[in-house]
Amino acid sequence: MPLEVQIAKRFPNFSLDVSFTAGDEPLGILGSSGAGKTMLLRCIAGLEQPDRGRIELNGRVLLDTQARTRVPARDRRVGLLFQHYALFPNQTVAENIAFGLHNLPREEQTRRMAELVARTHAQGLEQRYPRELSGGEQQRVALARALAIEPEALLLDEPLSALDTHLRSQVETQLYETFAAYRRPTLLVTHNVEEAYRLGERLLVLAEGRIAASGPKEEIFRRPPTVEVARLTGCKNFSRVIPVTDHVVDASDWGCRLAVAQTISRPAAHAGISAHHIDFVEPSQAGAPEGAGADAENIFPCWLVRSSETPFRITLYLHLRRPAEAGEHHLQAEVFKEKWERFRRLPQPWHVRLPADSLFLLPE
């Protein structure tokens, strides 16, 4: 039951131009603010009119600007969950959920209402008004309303952004359950890297209204195609590189030579590595001669510039090969606190390994 989208729309200072297909597994749409994520959903739902393009859902043409076909939003059978839920404030939970069911017989409305209330864990809320609900309860009701019409596609715009950490975890579990039962095209828009990774098996990265990357999430996170995509997927560590051989590069910003497992078809201009892939090694493993670089398994001396702490992790800002000057750092590394406690009191320099198979090369 695929969703096929090929649309373009021009705005005064922004253009949206995308083409992709979504199947029956959730597709995460990741991008920074202003990338066009919400506008894309509104075009698919029929709330915005693209300048040109075609949208087809389960064999039904919803939009074809060339053939002058445009199915109204109310007839598209697309469920849209807005970022701030957009519940009707003067209607009860039951009335909100039943909004799209008024054409059905009363018995069918009652049956579907009971099923949706149970599926979204909204029992006991039916006679309340939105102002009487918590953020998590409002989100569940909005999800029930989106599912009420038995949509052929489900569109979710930043569904967790307005929730605190505890509620976000609860609602994320609800979304897992919904996706497992739904098995139809689902687009999940977010600017949160971790949400995109956890909730979607496939990923589409939007940048300035264009698709910058698309495919399995593991592939995009492990081998981003550009520096821009690497940054959007959370990478903080980049260096310009000069290729030495097919699998050795000089990292000019880090002042070291690196062995890399990856080869690319175009000349490499940058190398990157995620903060959690940087490994700290025991002093006994760090006996390679200074300057060996690639011949020393990418192990280098480092000095701590500063650190930043969260409840469970430490971010370490490191300078390679010599003590830092004026607060400069080369790399950000993330470690769990348990590991941090094991080496924090050791004399510096410490030693880090940049694993060859965790480094990725990027074109200009």
Please write the tens of the pLDDT for every residue from 33-91.
Answer: 889 999 999 999 999 999 999 999 999 999 999 999 999 998 999 988 887 778 888 99
Question: Contact at 8 Å (CB) between 41 and 79?
Answer: no
Question: Contact at 8 Å (CB) between 31 and 191?
Answer: yes
Is 290's pLDDT higher than 60?
Answer: no
Structure tokens at 133: 């609900």
Radius of gyration of the chain (CA): 25
pLDDT of residue 148: 83
Question: Contact at 8 Å (CB) between 175 and 186?
Answer: no
Over range 313-324, report the average pLDDT: 88
Does residue 250 share a domain with residue 223?
no
Question: Contact at 8 Å (CB) between 7 and 206?
Answer: no
Q: Which helix (H) or strand (E) holds 68?
A: none
Does residue 335 share a domain with residue 212?
no
Does residue 265 share a domain with residue 120?
no
Over range 223-249, report the average pLDDT: 93
Does residue 307 share a domain with residue 270?
yes
Does residue 282 share a domain with residue 190?
no
pLDDT of residue 294: 53
User: Pick from 180, 198, 227: which residue ends a domain?
Assistant: 227
Is 350's pLDDT higher than 90?
Answer: yes
Over range 316-330, report the average pLDDT: 84
Does residue 143 share a domain with residue 45?
yes
Q: Which helix (H) or strand (E) holds 182?
A: helix 165-182
119-170 tens-digit pLDDT: 888 888 889 998 998 887 888 888 888 888 889 999 999 887 766 677 677 7
User: Pick from 193, 227, 261: which residue ends a domain?
Assistant: 227
Average pLDDT, the chain: 88
Taking every pair of C-alpha atoms in the chain, what is the biggest distance, in angstroms?
A: 80
pLDDT of residue 284: 67
The share of the chain scoring above pLDDT 90, in percent, equals 52
Q: Give the range of the structural domain holding residue 315, as residue numbers without chain letter.
A: 235-362
Query: Which residue in the block uniquely carries the two structure tokens 């469970």?
Result: 312
Structural domains of the chain, count: 2
pLDDT of residue 192: 86
CA 324 – CA 303 distance, rounded (Å): 7
pLDDT of residue 240: 96
Region of residue 125 (left: phi > 0; alpha: psi -120 to 50; beta: else): alpha
Over range 4-13, report the average pLDDT: 93
CA 108 – CA 284 distance, rounded (Å): 71
CA 271 – CA 218 distance, rounded (Å): 18
Query: Which residue in the block uniquely carries the two structure tokens 């430490």?
Result: 314
Over range 271-294, report the average pLDDT: 73
Question: Contact at 8 Å (CB) between 271 and 247?
Answer: no
Does residue 295 share a domain with residue 201?
no
Over range 287-291, report the average pLDDT: 48
Over range 233-258, report the average pLDDT: 93
18-29 tens-digit pLDDT: 999 999 889 999
CA 314 – CA 335 distance, rounded (Å): 5
Is 292's pLDDT higher than 50?
Answer: no
Range with lowest mean pLDDT among 70-79, 92-101, 268-277: 92-101
Q: Which residue has the higher pLDDT, 113 or 78?
A: 78
Does residue 205 share a domain with residue 91?
yes
Q: Hey, is 125 helix, strand or coil? A: coil
Question: Contact at 8 Å (CB) between 166 and 113?
Answer: no
Q: Which residue has the higher pLDDT, 164 or 222?
A: 222
pLDDT of residue 34: 87
Does residue 128 share a domain with residue 86?
yes
Structure tokens at 198: 């956890």
Does residue 172 share a domain with residue 319?
no
User: Pick from 161, 196, 227: which residue ends a domain?
Assistant: 227
Over range 205-223, report the average pLDDT: 93
CA 76 – CA 90 distance, rounded (Å): 26
Q: Which residue has the higher pLDDT, 136 or 316?
A: 316
Q: Which residue has the higher pLDDT, 286 or 191?
A: 191
Does residue 58 share a domain with residue 202?
yes
Over range 279-296, report the average pLDDT: 62
Does residue 151 share a domain with residue 116?
yes
CATH number of the domain encompassing residue 117: 3.40.50.300
